Amino acid sequence: MKNNNPDVQRSTCRDVQRLTTKTQEAWADLQRRLFAKGVHVVVIETLRTPERQEWLLAKGASKVKHSRHQDGVAIDIMLDLTKHNGLGGAWDTTTKRGRALFFTFGEEAERQQTLSDGTVCHFRWGGRFNPKGGGDLPKGQRDQLGWDAGHIELVEVSS
């Protein structure tokens, strides 16, 4: 059922504090590592309502019925254009520099980390999502960007 309610369409939550505690801690660590590498990003979405997810799916902006955003473990970002001058936009994945920034973002997100409670985790990066659907890009295509390069979701390896 298509939801044309403009409040649902605009109801984007950017508040990292609404995410799970583990996601908040892992994100803070990732931000520190990105900053040290000169990659500056802006959070554009965190927690998502089922209504917004339904709307994004109908619009074609999402490919899943249930998003990890709804579980409080996913974050969407864009490049901070106030820090990265000369890019073709906040989602610039076509220029060499824009691609390099997104790949650095993704590689740092995928790096395993241990949280203060001992949980070992990493972020699954949307830059690995297969644009044809059904999981991640094959290992031999890791030099390509998947369909959601600005998306990460927390994966717990052990707790």
* Span 141-152, average pLDDT: 86
- Domain membership flag for residue 1: no
- What the block records as the tokens of 46 is 């965190």
Calpha distance 96→18 (Å, rounded): 34
- Domain membership flag for residue 55: yes
Q: What is the pLDDT of residue 1?
A: 47
Residue 68 reports pLDDT greater than 90: yes
Q: Contact at 8 Å (CB) between 45 and 13?
A: yes
- Domain membership flag for residue 121: yes
| Structural domain span for residue 132 | 6-158
- Domain membership flag for residue 154: yes
Write out the DSSP string of 80-96: -TTTSTT-SSTT--SSH
CB atoms within 10 A of CB 14: 13
Task: Find the helix or strand (DSSP H, E) in which 51 lies.
Answer: helix 50-59
- Domain membership flag for residue 100: yes
Pick 93 or 39 by higher pLDDT: 39
Residue 48 reports pLDDT greater than 50: yes
- Domain membership flag for residue 137: yes
- Domain membership flag for residue 109: yes
Q: Contact at 8 Å (CB) between 87 and 97?
A: yes
Q: Could you give the number of structural domains in the chain? A: 1
Domain with 131 in it: what CATH number?
3.30.1380.10
Whole-structure pTM value? 0.89
